Each structure stands twice: as structure tokens, then as C-alpha cells.
Amino acid sequence: MIEVLLLVVLIASVLQYVKIRRKISFAQDLPTVEPCYPIIGNGLLYLGQSSEKRFLKISKALSHPAKFFKMWLGFVPIICTNDPSMAQQILTHPDCLEKPYLYDFFKLDYGLFSARHDIWKGQRKTLNSTFNQKIINGFIPIFDTCAQDLIKRLMNHKTVQMTPFMLQCALEMVCATTIGGDLSRQKGAVILTELIDKVIHLVAKRVLSVSVHLECVYRLTQDYRAEQRAREEAYYYGNEILRDARARKATETIDSNDRDEFRKPQIFIDQLLDPQNGKKFEEIEIIHNLYTMITGGSDTTGNEMGYISLMLAMHPDLQEKVYGEIMTVFPGSGDPIFSHEALKQLQYTEMVIKETLRLFPIAPNIMRTPIKDVNLYGVLVPKGTILLISIFNAHRRKDVWGPNADKFDPENFSPERVEGRHPFAFLAFSGGTRNCIGIRYAMCNLKIILVHLLKNFKLRTNAHIEDLQFKYDAMLRLSTEPEISLERRATCTKNAEGCD
């Protein structure tokens, strides 16, 4: 058995190597990340390393000063950049909207995030309208309730690692706006995200192991079996959620007074089951998009709120400035009355959010592949080449962000500084037409959580930004999260339990 497996791997590898060598000849003049050896490529950067070292070495390699350079995942070449103008060329090129085969490992081929270009195009056109500002405004009361629940949970603690609390809050928000219904009945959704996280971790591991890129080889591994178990369980919960949503929709009596489309929140699953305009979705598209939104909407904002809390705790003077702005827009100790207009006034708060997203972009690297041969900055890149944009490194370039690029400075997002900068220097939400569909959603819920958090607590920590270590994963995650101490503020909102 093992001999057959080795033979299959060997033959597949040689065929792949010959094919790729022929295709990569266009890139022979591009600089290569070192050390690089035949067969293992840049494997020494990550093989046998701890997750933390892996992250450090890969991100150092991706900080290469050339506009375009190449890395080898074994014998798979990846053309990389951290340059804003190169990123713009790739992300805005109409023939570079495809994701490479590595995204197939997510096995969500019919969800917006990893769907092939031809499927993605129709879906994105229809779903863009489900993320418009009016629909997001309809979610404000839901975000408010979930943030109030978060504060109640935090009231029981003096020191916390913030991210797990934020992940729960973000998950409740995304469940309520995606699936709808009573939050307490969505236990299946919590299990679902844990299962999806497990799958994402195994996918990130598989990306670095070229020997298991071929599905027939991967199927022979333990990781495949673990992934399958997680997927099967996830599908079970996914189907339950979908059945519930369908049953609820079938029993809904449409009161003619409720026809004002923006009075009731337009939850995502209803739009998938019954799109107001654009394409009708197949069953598999509905399921894959449901998983995509639950993960895309909770892991991202949850982790990012963890980073924002840490940055504020590490910079008490900046925290007071944000608090001051919040108290000007939402004065007093009563519950804040949120509206889109009021949230728009939180401009310094927005600068703090963006600066955190700059230093801690939840998607540290993104990839694209051309659907035909394309010319990018004078380099003729053949169809099917894997192109990688290192957002993490683009956000820390000293020639773009100045000599203190590694420091936390919200002034980086003052209107004057933004005006003088390349439009693709900040890529936390990616760029071009295949950017993040949830930008408005995220900015709205992040601000609402922050208002509640800072009205109720002063955040403090002894940790410093230089102490933070990341681990290798598909998302930017801390190796160990420092604790934050919570000190009650005098403006503690009246309905929060434990508030004096």
C-alpha cells in the first residue's frame, strides 16, 4: 500500500514539476526568496518549525523589497508582491478576479469567497444589494442588543483575554443578521463556527504541504479524515439552521403594514431564499454562502475587536481621545441612541479602527490567478499563475507608512495623510470588485461595540506592541493574547448589570 502511495506521489510530482517548470520560464528573471532548493523550494522557511517561527519566517520572506518576486511552495511557484501599485494592477484587472486552486481546499466552491469567477460574478451582483447602507442601518438595533449583552458578560470580570468575548458577540450579531430568529436557539451556530475554524486550520496546514495538494493523495491522510468529520458535522448543523429558517419563512404572515422593506431587518438568509432581484440561488449556493457569511462575518470582526481593545489598552492617551469623542456624540450615561448619522460622526474612532486593521489585517495574505495571460507592470504573467499579495507587509512598508510604520498611530488615517497616499496602500478589506462585501457591516458593528465598551470600561494592560507574537494560520491570530484589566467608568450605562 505504502509503495503504491509513494509511486503515485512521485509520478504526480514529476509530471507537475515538468509542467510548472515550463510555465514559470516567464519569471526566471524575478528575484527569488532565499534559501531556495530544488524540490523543497522555500520549504526550510516553514518545514518542522513552530507555528510562531513559521509566521515570522514567512512574513519576513514576503517583505522582499522587489515589486514582484517569487517563492516556491515545494515545486509550486508563487509570484508575490507587497507593493501598492502592483496590488492595484492585480486587484483591478478584469482577468485577475479568479482565486487559485488553493482556495478549492475550503470546499466552498459555491460561496462568494472561494467560488470560481463565473459563479462568483452573478452571485456578487445579486448579493451586493444585500449589504447596502439601508439594510445595514436596519441591523443597528440587533448590533446594539448584542453589544449590551457583551457588556453584561464583561461586568463579571476584572481581567480578561478579550478575543473570546468579542468572538461570541460577533457571532451573535452575524447569526441574528444572517439566520435571524431567537439568539438563544442558535446553539448549533456556535458549534458550526468551531467546526469551520477547525476546517480553516487544516486548510492552512494543507496549503504548505504540496505533497497533499492532489485530492487523491490528501484523501489518504489523517488530516483528511479529521477534516471530513468536521465537515460532515458542520453540514448537519448547517442543514438544521437552514430548515429552521425555511420553516420560519413559511409560517411568516405577511402583514401588509410590514411591507415597508426597511422597517424589518432584511436578514441574509431571506435574501438567499428569495432574492428581490438578480439571480435565484441553488440549494448548494445557499448552504455554501451561509457558511461563508457566518465565518466571514464573525471570525473577522471578533478577532479585530480583540486587537482594537489591546491597542486602546496599550495607549491610554489615545483611548481617552476615543472616549471623549464617544461622549460628545453619545453624551450621558443612558443607553446610546444609535443611527447611521451619529455613527458617522465618530471620525477619530474610525481612524483608530483603521490603524488597528493596518497593523493587524485579519487576512494577512490574499491570492488571485489570471484567467488568461495578462501583462502586469511589463511582466507577461501566464493564465493560472498563483499571485499573492502580502497585506501584512504592504501595511508595514516604511517607504509608504514612514519610519514608525510598526508603531500604532491613528494619525496615519487623518484626511491629510490619506490624501497623499497610494489608494491601494491600505488593503485590510482587499480592493477592486472582489473586495470584502462586508465593509459597511463591519465598520458599523465595530463602532457600536466600541461605544458600549468604552462607555463602560477603562481598558489597561502591561503588555507592549513589541511583545505580540502571531501564529501561522489562514487568519492573523495571536500566539498568546495578553490580558486586559477592566476598570468601571462613571458613565457605565444604566442597564448594564453590576453598574453602580
Would you tell me which residues interact with ligand HEM (CB under 6 A)? 112-113, 124, 174, 292-293, 296-297, 300-301, 304, 357, 362-363, 366, 428-430, 434, 436-438, 441-442
In the complex, minimum distance from the CB of residue 257 to ligand HEM, in angstroms, rounded to a whole number: 29
Cβ distance to ligand HEM smaller for residue 314 or 444? 444
Partnered with residue 390 across adjacent β-strands are: 365
Placement of cell 513589541 in the chain: 466
| Minimum distance from residue 304 beta carbon to ligand HEM (Å) | 4
Q: How far is the CB of 497 from ligand HEM (least distance, A)?
A: 28
- C-alpha distances in Å from residue 483, one per residue of 58, 153, 359, 416, 459: 27, 16, 19, 35, 10
Give me the least distance between CB of 115 and ligand HEM, in Å please: 7
Nearer to ligand HEM, 306 or 336 (CB): 306
Q: Which residue minimizes CB distance to ligand HEM?
A: 438
The three cell numbers of residue 318 are 489615545
Q: Which is nearer to ligand HEM, 75 or 392 (by Cβ)? A: 392
Select from 240, 294, 250 the least CA-distant residue to 112: 294
Q: Using the minimum distance from each CB to ligand HEM, give the nearer residue, 154 or 357.
A: 357
The grid coordinates listed for 206 are: 494543507
Q: Is 69 helix (H, G, I), strand (E, B) or coil?
A: strand
CA distance 111 to 97: 15
State the minimum distance, in angstroms, from the CB of residue 6 to ligand HEM. Answer: 34
We find the least distance from the C-beta atom of residue 440 to ligand HEM, in angstroms, to be 9
Shortest approach of ligand HEM to residue 102 CB, angstroms?
10
Nearer to ligand HEM, 123 or 493 (CB): 123
Residue number with CB closer to ligand HEM (102 or 496): 102
Q: Which residues contact 441 (CB under 8 A, 6 or more apart)?
A: 131, 136, 139, 177, 297
Whole-number minimum distance, CB 121 to ligand HEM, in Å?
10
Q: Which three cell numbers stand for residue 190?
A: 456556535
Task: Tell the burial category of 70 from Cβ atoms under 10 Å away from its Cβ (0-12, 13-18, 19+).
Answer: buried
Which residue's CB is nearer to ligand HEM, number 23 or number 121? Answer: 121
Specify the residue, 242 or 428, whose C-beta has the smaller distance to ligand HEM.
428
Name the nearest CA neighbour of 218 among 234, 207, 229, 230.
207
What is the closest distance, in whole angstroms, from the C-beta atom of residue 298 to ligand HEM in the complex?
Answer: 8
Contact status, residue 212 vs residue 264, Cβ threshold 8 Å: no
Which residues have a Cβ under 8 Å from the Cβ of 99 and sit 6 or more positions away?
114, 116, 367, 368, 369
H helix runs in 129-277, sequence order: 133-154, 162-178, 187-208, 215-218, 222-251, 268-273
Cβ distance to ligand HEM smaller for residue 326 or 366: 366
- Residue 66 CA to residue 367 CA, distance in Å, equals 18
Among candidates 166, 169, 179, 171, which has minimal Cα distance to 265?
179
